Chain A
């Protein structure tokens, strides 16, 4: 916050927001500000210039208007569980924290909808709908703590995406505050709202198009039965073969998760999940739906696992055993800390059929670089979460891990995949975007950004490596932009 004008603007805003929102809604004490300096991706930090905690749409509007009038950038943040630095604050900006906006406004069973505020915790929606026999489907692993507003920003997924899709498939309407301070509804309680599907494009825009203040989500009828099995294989190749056979047989499981030997080792060390001894890979397959359909398809899944080399198949008899099976998988990320001082979680996607080849390539990469990689992933939809292990205290290891992590993304792109399946681009992967998209592709995405946020103050510096300035003629950039050269704009 070296820039005196930025600091002056922030203190004016602090004053204005205290008057409008109340004393306790504004944080400007440096020590308290520091507690908001990162989201779930802790190796990027920035102490926000000012933190505000609005409780209503009107208060968010007041904050955004203040920022817009003074040209101060702002970033929205929910629980801060994001893993790509999407909610990384700016030292010269305002961090708008939505954790006090946590009302479940309506559980509307006849219309199978809920209306919630952005700070509502994901799992709370299901808790509120459960007594009626309904639930909210998108269930990121962090669902006990992550907020729906953040889920909207990141288009969050989870283990059950294969069958049920992502946040965008379950969001029908959004009330947002636009970067120029207007409150508008995108979509609503009904599908097919006339006009452009702005709600559809807003979901997953990582907080760059505005701040969401109300969310209409679909509720689904809870399935009649859920059946889960754990299968142990000698190798990831065998497990991959089983996955292909299951999909090939026309079964759409609710989830298919795979862990390799190193990931299993970590989970065992941490939560003693007692997975099949000697397994080079385990699969967790879950089916849900009407009982007779599930019974038949479950038998098929079991058969495909055995035919493809499963030496042990365990079927959960009840919810307790089901939780036991999931325990290892759900704890895998944290568990890696038991076998390595530091690690990077990668989030790439490949076409599922490329899985065996990509896993071999990752193994080779690991052997060549001496960097260990544990693999945990959503096998059904090809979403890899390689855990790249290293020790920061050993000089050079951190850099090597970064290189391996990046090389894995290149593998994903080369196989026609994506650089992120659910964690987002944020600040972390902005530099990888040009490897996946052409400058024309990125410019076209920025047309949307310019329509929503012509001043470029809403979560700037995220998603795009070199944002096109609004009003600039699209096309290849040559040299430094004149506005940048003149010091009137910056590229982040």
Chain B
């Protein structure tokens, strides 16, 4: 009770409560939920958690909360959704300062009113903080990169409640270590992100989607190479394979000036051949995950030219029929399987994939029921260094314990 009273004193009476079953993090139910309203309150909450030796998992809107291994323990869910202000949109500088709990779609609406966007379109949506913490990205990553590449400044609260800032509000900046990179994709294990600064891009004046059906993995791989070696500057290059062995669809997004995009689309249609056609509408699956909230999901990263090998490894997945979708121009795919798929077969598939992807690729089990007893992250080089980083930032291992690589 003393803990709850302490949290309420920091966040306000309505913003701290006992947790319920719907607050579970990957199946682990916490004791408390606190929703601080500013960086200083986050710091006070984390100091209280440190005093009370509470384990903490940060949560935005919860769209990616099931990703990663279940936490070894969680006493407190730190809800960031009250940190939802667009602090500063410096439109002339193409920069936005935004609180971590801001929903990405809300942010995009604000920016679009000024003809701008954050060139980050993760299918999972969610908050800015969650997107950064999971390094989630969508089709646009081909041309613009991920949060790693667009984040220019960050405010974080460490496990000991100390507030730290790195980077800044200017795009070009090499002063000090780039902690934003370290926090991007750290799954809440190093600290709580409270504010992010992003570089922005203008909304493109024109867009075209060029679609082509592909018969098999070999053809998909050949066409991907053809597009990447062209001078057409695709903004995105996505593949959708709803049923293994069935036909897949390749879609290329072109963005740019109204005088240029139609001509490029025409060239691309000719380059792709087959049933290629250009349109202004994205296919219905564009920018969505090939899995539902209860499905087993994999994230696969591979050298671009290995697409055929990856598709082949997945197609022969011992009776499993994974749906497949992703950024084949970058070499990042997501695969989905029904939540009740045979756990042993899933483990075997993961093993086969990891073997096929050596030495450079990776296959992560993003989300799965506990029955799939397998290391979600696989072998990770430099793990010893990563453990040392974790120990420096969170010596007591109280932030999202066990969720990350090597049990970090």
* A351 and B170 in contact, given A247-B94, A292-B260, A418-B175 (Cβ under 8 angstroms): yes
Return the chain B residue nearest A417 by Cβ: B170
State the Cβ distance, A289 to closest chain B Cβ, in Å: 6
- Closest A residue to B167 by CB, please name it: A418
Question: Are B165 and A438 in contact (CB-based, < 8 A)?
Answer: yes
Determine whether the beta carbon of A204 is less than 8 Å from that of B202. Answer: no
Q: How far is the CA of A223 from the CA of B264 in the complex (A)?
A: 14
Decide if A192 touches B362 in the complex (CB within 8 Å). yes
Q: Which residues of B contact A296 (CB under 8 A)?
A: 257-260
Taking Cβ atoms with an 8 Å cutoff, the residues of A that contact B are 108-113, 133, 154-155, 157, 161-162, 165-166, 168-169, 178, 182, 184-186, 188-198, 200-201, 203-205, 221-224, 244, 247-248, 250-252, 289-297, 349-353, 378, 381-383, 416-425, 429, 433, 436-438, 440-445, 447-452, 463, 474-475
- Knowing that A185-B381, A196-B182, A290-B233 are A-B contacts, what are 15 other residue pairs whose CB atoms are under 8 Å apart, sorted by A's residue number? A113-B303, A161-B171, A168-B178, A178-B385, A188-B381, A190-B362, A192-B185, A195-B381, A195-B406, A201-B182, A381-B170, A382-B170, A416-B170, A424-B174, A447-B389
CB contact list, B346-390 vs A, under 8 A: 359-362, 364, 377-378, 380-386, 388-389
Report if B172 contacts A (CB, 8 A): yes
Expressed in whole angstroms, the Cα–Cα distance for A198 and B148 within the complex equals 12
| CB <8 Å contact, B392 and A450 | yes
Chain B residue with Cβ nearest A436: B175
On whether the beta carbons of A192 and B170 are closer than 8 Å, the reply is no
B264 touches A293 (CB 8 A): yes
B348 to A: closest C-beta gap in Å: 20
| Residues of chain B lying within 8 A (CB to CB) of residue A350 | 170
Please give the residue numbers on chain B whose beta carbons come within 8 Å of chain A beta carbons, in ascending order. Answer: 90, 92-95, 115, 135, 141, 145-146, 148-149, 156, 158, 160, 162-166, 168-179, 181-182, 184-186, 190, 201-205, 225, 228-233, 256-261, 263-264, 299, 301-305, 330-332, 359-362, 364, 377-378, 380-386, 388-389, 391-393, 404-406
Q: With a CB–CB cut-off of 8 A, which chain A residues contact B203?
A: 250
Q: Given A292-B263, A474-B162, are A433 and B176 also a contact pair (CB < 8 Å)?
A: yes
Are B173 and A353 closer than 8 Å at their CB atoms?
no
* Residues of chain A with a CB closer than 8 A to B186's CB: 196-197
Q: Are A441 and B385 in contact (CB under 8 A)?
A: no
A425/B170 contact (C-beta < 8 A), A247-B94, A437-B165 known: no
User: Is B92 in contact with A197, judged by CB distance below 8 angstroms?
Assistant: no
Whole-angstrom distance between the alpha carbons of A185 and B264 in the complex? 39
Contacts of A352 in B (CB 8 A): 92-93
Contact for B172 among A110, A157, A441, CB less than 8 A? A157
Which residue of B160, B163, B174, B361 is within 8 Å of A422 (Cβ)?
A: B174
A416, B260: Cβ atoms closer than 8 Å? no
Give A432 Cβ to nearest chain B Cβ, in Å. Answer: 8
Q: Which 6 A-B pairs have the closest CB atoms?
A: A200-B181, A293-B260, A250-B202, A110-B305, A444-B164, A292-B260
- What's the least CB distance linking A399 to chain B, in Å? 24
A12 to chain B, nearest CB (A): 28
Residues from chain A with a CB closer than 8 A to the CB of B331 are 111, 190-191
The smallest beta-carbon distance between A122 and chain B, in angstroms, is 16
B172 near A422 with CB under 8 A, answer yes
For residue A161, give the distance in angstroms from its CB to the closest CB of chain B. Answer: 6
Instruction: List 27 interface pairs A-B (beta carbons < 8 Å), by A numbering.
Output: A108-B305, A112-B304, A161-B171, A168-B181, A169-B145, A184-B381, A184-B382, A192-B299, A192-B332, A193-B380, A194-B377, A195-B377, A196-B185, A201-B177, A221-B228, A221-B231, A250-B202, A251-B202, A297-B257, A381-B171, A416-B168, A417-B170, A436-B176, A441-B164, A448-B179, A451-B391, A463-B177
Q: Are B330 and A197 in contact (CB under 8 A)?
A: no
Query: Smallest Cβ distance from B145 to chain A, in angstroms?
Result: 6
Alpha-carbon gap, A96 to B122, bound state (A): 43
Residues of B within 8 A of A438 (CB): 164-165
Given A110-B225, A111-B303, A438-B165, check contact A444 B170 (CB 8 Å): no
| In the complex, chain B residues whose CB is within 8 Å of the CB of A221 | 228-231, 233
If A194-B380, A195-B380, A290-B231 touch, does A425 touch B301 (CB 8 Å cutoff)? no
Give B180's nearest chain A residue, CB to CB: A200
B114's nearest neighbour on chain A, judged by CB, is A248
Contact A191/B301 with A155-B174, A353-B93, A444-B164 known, Cβ cut-off 8 Å? yes
Closest to A353 in B: B92
Q: Of the candidates B94, B171, B257, which one forms a contact with A292 in the assembled complex, judged by CB atoms under 8 Å apart? A: B257
The CA-CA distance from A316 to B363 in the complex, in Å, is 49
The answer, among B175, B256, B393, for a CB contact under 8 Å with A420, is B175
User: A111–B304 contact, CB under 8 A?
Assistant: yes
For A441, what are the chain B residues with a Cβ–Cβ distance below 8 Å? Answer: 164-166, 176
Instruction: Give B394's nearest chain A residue, CB to CB.
Output: A447
- How close is B230's CB to chain A, nearest CB, in angstroms? 8
Cα-based distance from A120 to B179 in the complex (angstroms): 27
